[in-house]
Amino acid sequence: MIDHTHDPAALSWVAAANDPATDFPLQNLPFCRFRERGSLAPWRIGVGIGDRILDLAGWGIDDLNALMGRPRAERVALRHRLFDALKAGAPEIPLLLQAQAEFALPCRIGDYTDFYTGIHHARAVGRLFRPDNPLLPNYQWVPIGYHGRSSSIVVSGTPIRRPRGQVKPPDADGPVFQPSARIDCELELGLFVGPGNALGQPFSIDEADDHAFGLTLLNDWSARDIQPWEYQPLGPFLAKNFGTTISPWIVTMEALEPFRLPFTRPPEDPQPLPYLDSPTHRAGAAYDIALEVWLQTTAMAAPTRLSRSNLRHAYWSLAQMLTHHASNGCNLQPGDLLGTGTISGPAPEEAGSLLELTAGGRQPVTLANGEQRTFLRDGDQLGLRAFAEKPGFRRLGFGPCDGVITAAV
């Protein structure tokens, strides 16, 4: 699937797209939904190129969900047309500066499922609550997930209100209803579903790529003091659904083709059941995508990086998430969102949540200016960043995924 649109020597007539540090070179071409900042104009579908946006209204594309539902071959053909229109030597066409735009969620998100594919996160969190048995026995056999709430998914830059909820103090007989004191982030990617499948019609692991449209950064905000009281026996609820932030940009799977890796398991681990395994899947179902967590407090002039991880650490692949979700006949639809769950690495500094970085709040993180944090305070701005880079190809970025914590009401 690597073709001329991945050529690292290809340049654009948009000067900013040729900057080695840009998230959006000619080889990326991510989708968004935008309008001129401060206007009441209808939202439009656009493509990022350097520091600009190409409006796709004149291309007959006014609904990203409809594009997601098209066959992959048609999406590839559109990528080729966009590439040819924006490459050096093509006639210049009007573009909008991204700084002059405001963004909405890139598409209609009908359903949202959050998985738990980061085994290092699962083990680290498990040790906090079950030191003798951190990893539950089903984890290495089945891609674990829960159904989240799509109505509280918001675009980067939207403030996140500190939630109230039931908290059970360890020395109390019963719970109290109060603002959460342990607001946390979760470093994730979100996979947007493409065409999807009919109800009762699952697809094979080797067909999963046909149903993957693209990736976005995702922060599954979590109230860690509400979560342990309410999640048993049915799993996450109000500790998770008060806000989920995503980037306004969707990086297509076609753009990410050069960054595939073999998908392997340690030989001593259980190998996936046949419906989640194939030679093709093992050859290239993992992705090399660097992930970062950044924090800026009200006392800081610039953000500081808290941690860095990589999607290659995921225990379950994107294709396995899709295939398992539909394996019982569940009908995935264009624009459905699947979160990866927190992607932490094996080293302590690769933790994708404050819960891990602070050992459950027992070991505060010291920031560059001397401040300390166990969990997020009002006014803290938490940002996720991601990029894919590899010798012989252009670096691709995912844009911002930022949110600031505001006081409870």
**Could you give the residue numbers annotated as active site?**
121
Taking the C-alpha atoms of residue 56 and residue 87, their distance in angstroms, rounded to an integer, is: 16
In the DSSP assignment, the letter for residue 272 is P
CA-CA distance, 288 to 298, in Å (whole number)?
A: 33
Record the tokens describing residue 401, joined without a space: 């995924």
Q: 126-149 b/e with 16+ CB inside 10 Å = b? A: bbbeeeeeeeeeebbeebbbbebe
HSE-CB at 243 with a 13 A cutoff on CA atoms is 25
Cβ burial 180-218 (10 Å sphere, 16+ → b, else e): bbbbbbbbbbbbbbbbbbeeeebbebeebbbbbbbbbbb
d(CA 247, CA 400): 6
| Furthest C-alpha separation in the chain | 73
Helix (H) or strand (E) holding 58: none
284 neighbors 294 (Cβ within 8 angstroms): no
